Copies of this chain bind each other. A is one copy, B any other.
Amino acid sequence: MSDVNELARVEAYSDGVFAIAATLLILEIRVPSVDPHAPLAALVHELAGLWPSYLAFVISFGTILVIWVNHHGAVRLLHKTSNAFLYANGLLLLTVTFIPFPTALLARYIETDLAGVAVAVYAGSSLLTNVAFLLWFAAMQKPVYLLRKQYSRPQLRKVWMKLAAGQFVYVPAAIVSWWAPRPGLALIVAIFIFWIVMSFEDRSLI
């Protein structure tokens, strides 16, 4: 099997995990129980009350989508794989697979007095995903250089900085959210929008 096919299989497995992690999120939104003879407004009220679940679903689905778009862009830079890269990819997938858990936690506690813990855990989990993504990007370059040759050090550094921005957002977000959950959540949403915008601006490398 050629290296191109090997990369294709890494992508197929990764795409499978991304697709499933994104799709499992819907299982956390449960159909509310309402007395079947209640007025229509009662069910509408219950459905509206699920807004934290809808919001958590959209944020997590969007996060996985952004990771997928970036993963997709970065794999285009490769011409072969290494075992270190395969395990770094596995670690990244592990953190992506974990996402449904903090998502469910967020949906469950965002409206309660315990919102601080839920947002902090969500920020912490996002931080782990971000660290895994940085390791994954590093494993493309060491111990074996897997990239197609045309990328200069400043170009690679620029991508690295863009990814590492997550560190400077998730750590403060985790700390802030302990006392002020909503500003913490706003930081998480902000970096998410930053990455979407960046992926439009600079498509040349990643």
Contact = CB atoms under 8 A, between A and B. Distances in A.
Q: How large is the interface on A (under 10, 10 to 19, 20 to 34, 35 or more residues)?
A: 35 or more
Oligomer copy total: 4
Interface in A10-31: 11-13, 15-27, 29, 31
A90 B104 contact: no
Contacts of A203: 83
Interface stretch (A92-100, A129-137, A153-161, A183-191): A92-100
A169 interface: no
Nearest to A178: B40
A86 B100 contact: no
A182 to B, nearest CB: 15
A121 to B, nearest CB: 7
A97 B65 contact: no
B113 A25 contact: no
Contacts of A36: 109, 112-114
B31 A101 contact: yes
Which of A12, A27, A38 has the most chain B CB atoms inside 10 A of its CB? Answer: A12
Given A83-B199, A97-B23, A114 B38 contact: yes
Nearest to A44: B117
Given A69-B86, A117-B43, A200-B84, A20 B20 contact: yes
A31 B69 contact: no
A175 B72 CA distance: 42
Contacts of A16: 15-16, 18-20
